Amino acid sequence: MNKSCSNPDCTVAQTGKCLLNHSLDACPSLVETVSASTPPAFGLPPVLAAPDSNVRLPPSLALDRDLAERLASKRPCTQVGILGLPASGKTAALVSLYLLVAKGLLEGFDFRNSLSLMALEKLSRGARRWDTTSLPDQLTAHTEIADNRTAGYLHLRLHSTRHGFDLDLLLPDLPGEWTKSLIDTNRTDRLAFLKSCSAIWLFVDGRKLHDNATKQHALHRCEMVLRRLKAYLGQIVPTITVVATHKDYGQLTSSIFDPLLGLAGELGIDVRIHQIASFAQEHSTTVAGEGIAELIDGLCLSVGDQRWFEAERSGCSRSIGDYRGGEV
The answer as to whether 119 is a domain residue is yes
Q: Report the CATH number at residue 140.
A: 3.40.50.300
Whether residues 7 and 130 fall in one domain: no
14 and 115 co-located in one domain: no
For the CA atoms of 186, 94, 198, 264, what is the dihedral angle to 10 degrees?
A: -50
Do 210 and 273 sit in the same domain of this protein? Answer: yes
Shared domain check, 94 and 220: yes
Domain range for 238:
65-297
Q: Are strands 30-33 and 2-5 parallel, antiparallel or unpaired?
A: antiparallel
Is residue 261 in a domain? yes
Do residues 22 and 138 share a domain?
no
**What is the structure's pLDDT at 301?**
61
Angle (CA) 22 25 27, round 5°: 40
Max CA-CA distance within the chain? 108
Together in a domain, 176 and 226: yes
Is residue 200 domain-resident? yes
Tell me what pLDDT residue 51 has.
64
- Assess whether 119 and 21 both reside in one domain: no
Domain shared by 285 and 150, yes or no: yes
In a domain, 112, yes or no: yes
| Number of structural domains in the chain | 2
Tell me which residue of 247, 183, 250, 240 sits closest to 217, measured CA to CA. 183
For residue 325, is it within any domain?
no
261 and 132 together in one domain: yes
Q: What is the pLDDT along the chain (328 residues), one digit of tens a residue?
A: 456 677 777 777 667 777 777 777 777 777 666 555 555 555 566 667 766 666 555 567 888 888 888 888 888 899 999 999 999 999 999 999 999 999 999 999 999 999 999 889 888 887 456 556 666 665 544 434 444 455 789 999 999 999 899 999 999 988 899 999 999 999 999 899 999 899 999 999 999 999 999 999 999 999 999 999 999 999 999 999 999 999 999 999 999 999 999 999 999 999 999 999 999 988 888 999 999 999 999 998 643 445 544 444 444 444 444 443 333 3
Distance set, CA 274 to CA 263, 285, 290, 291 (Å): 17, 18, 11, 8
Establish if 58 belongs to a structural domain.
Answer: no
Closest CA to 206 of 279, 259, 282: 279
Predicted confidence at residue 64, as pLDDT, reads 83
Q: Answer yes or no: is 138 within a domain.
A: yes
Q: Mark whether 11 and 103 lie in a shared domain.
A: no
Position 257 in a domain: yes
Residue 157, strand partner residues: 113, 168
pTM to 2 decimals? 0.73
Claim to verify: residue 125 and residue 16 sit in the same structural domain: no
Same domain, 18 and 118: no
